[in-house]
Structures are given as C-alpha cells and as structure tokens.
Amino acid sequence: MEPFVSWQWRKNHVQEIVLVDARWYWDRPCFDAYRTGHVPGAVFVDLDADLTGEITEDSGRGPFPAPEDFARAMSRAGIDGSRPVAAYDDAGGVIAARLAWMLRLLKVPAAVVSGGIQAYPGALDSSLVHPRPAVFPPRPWPAGSLLSTRDVAALSEAVLIDARPNNRYRGEEPETDPRLGKVPEADPRRGHIPEAINVPCRDHLEADGMIKPPQVIRGRFAAKGIVDASGVVSYCGAGVTACHNLLAMEYAGLGQGRLYPGSWSAWSRNSGLPAAIGHR
C-alpha cells in the first residue's frame, strides 16, 4: 500500500478499509471536531489517548504507547490488521501520518489520505460511527526502529532530519509544550540537534494540502543529500510530524527510515546535550 492515497482511491475501496479521522488540536477537544462533522464512515482515533504513551520528564511530548495499550486502542477503533487503514486530518496529513507510520511499522497496510478532510468531495456526517468488533493482537515495536535520546546522542553514521518549520529549527520561535501538562510550559532551549538537517515536512505539500508528486519530493531530499532512507533518523518537536517525513521518503522511493519519538521535546530537556541555533 502506498503511503499516500486519494479520496478517489478510498471510494474505490470503501468496503475494504478502515477510515480514520485523526484530527488533533492542542488547544481544544479533538473529538468535538469529529462530532461536528466527519467523513461518513470514519472512526475517531485520538492522538493523545490512543497513540501516545505515558509522558514523563524524560520522554518528550510524544512517546510511543506500550504495545498492549496500542493494541487496545486499535481494537476499540475496529482495527485488527486484516483491513488496510486510511487516515485523514485537516493539517495536510502531518498529524495522521503518526497513525499510518505506526501501523506500517507493524506491517499493517496504512496510508494518509492526501488533502485531508478539506479535499473530501462529499457532505460531512455528524453521526457517531460505532466500529465493528475487532481484536488487534499486541505486537512489539520492531527493534531498532525507535531511537531513544541516548541512541541519538551516540549516533555517528546516521543522518538526522528535523521536520519542524525553519523558524523553530533555527531557534527563532519557542517550543510550546502544551501536552506536558504539569511539566513546564515550554522546552528550556531553542534550536536543533547539532548536525541535523532541516527538512520541513509541510514543504512536501501543495498549497491546497495535497501531497506533491513523488519525483518532486525525491528531488527535495536529494537536494539535502538524502538518496537512501535506511540511514536516516527523523525527529520534530514531539515525534508526530516527523512521521510525515518518514512516509514521504517511502513515497519518494527512498526506503524506510527510523524515528526518534522523544524528538526536540526530549533532547532539549537534557542540559548535558548540545543544541545548535541558526542554520546548520
């Protein structure tokens, strides 16, 4: 299954897939948007409740959940791994990419719907969708696919890519930390991991939020010196939009990279680790 699909593709496979509304907002209840209007047939998966593990001082904002917790969340959503999953959001797919990449990591066919809910050609629905009964067997996250802060600090050969916008990569804007709750409201440092290359994930999108052609994205990565994803580790602010870069590399034919879930929100909290400001 390709990492990105169209609404036409979904129409052609409507009986064969699980459609997921994966919209997320840090400043308001995400389920409210789903309840107001969603694509007919879509179930709701919550980034915070379903796709995020226990947040600690060291984990960063977006740690992966334990396999058992993820399995329960997928089962509640009617996902058992037997049917492909297509996820959409209203942010160009940079949020929905988290679910799609997690499932693909476990060899479950999954993709982001290009253009998201804004590109859906029909009327929205406000009725609640009750997922069909499903049991998603717990599966361990593949060894070596998820890197800890210690792993990243010890890297010597891997290429680090930062999916955040340029201004956050350069340290011109503070890293707000709304999802850490009782932990301080902002990351203590600005900037990026030294030697990391900035590849803003939203630059993979057209002005209307559709994913750009694979050859264009391949050219963007090539311009950064990246022609093979196998040696690449992707990060962002909290390990969410970094997944969009990983899907984009697959889409461009570069293969599979790895994720640093802790990302800048974990790295920046360790005062013993270096930080870089400005361009690389």
Per-residue pLDDT tens digits for 151-187: 999 998 899 999 999 999 999 987 765 544 434 444 4
The pLDDT value recorded for residue 185 is 44
The pLDDT value recorded for residue 278 is 87
H-state helical runs in the chain: 7-12, 30-36, 47-50, 67-76, 96-105, 149-153, 166-169, 214-223, 242-251, 263-267
pLDDT above 60 (res 72)? yes
**Domains (range + CATH), the chain:** 4-119 (3.40.250.10), 149-267 (3.40.250.10)
d(Cα 175, Cα 184) in Å, to the nearest integer? Answer: 11
d(Cα 75, Cα 139) in Å, to the nearest integer? Answer: 13
The pLDDT value recorded for residue 148 is 97
The pLDDT value recorded for residue 92 is 97
Question: What confidence tens digit (pLDDT) does each residue in 184-230 have?
Answer: 444 468 999 999 999 999 999 999 999 999 999 999 999 999 999 99
Averaged pLDDT score across all residues of the chain: 94
What is the pLDDT averaged over residues 71-94? 98
What is the pLDDT averaged over residues 113-126? 98
Task: Tell me the C-alpha to C-alpha distance, in Å, between residue 54 and each of 22, 48, 63.
Answer: 19, 10, 7
The answer to whether the Cα torsion of 47, 50, 55, 60 is positive or negative is negative
β-bridge partners, 125: 38
d(Cα 225, Cα 221) in Å, to the nearest integer? Answer: 6
d(Cα 76, Cα 62) in Å, to the nearest integer? Answer: 21
pLDDT above 80 (res 280)? no
Q: Which of 30, 201, 236, 243 is catalytic?
A: 236
Query: Is 236 one of the annotated active-site residues of the chain?
Result: yes
* Global pTM value: 0.95
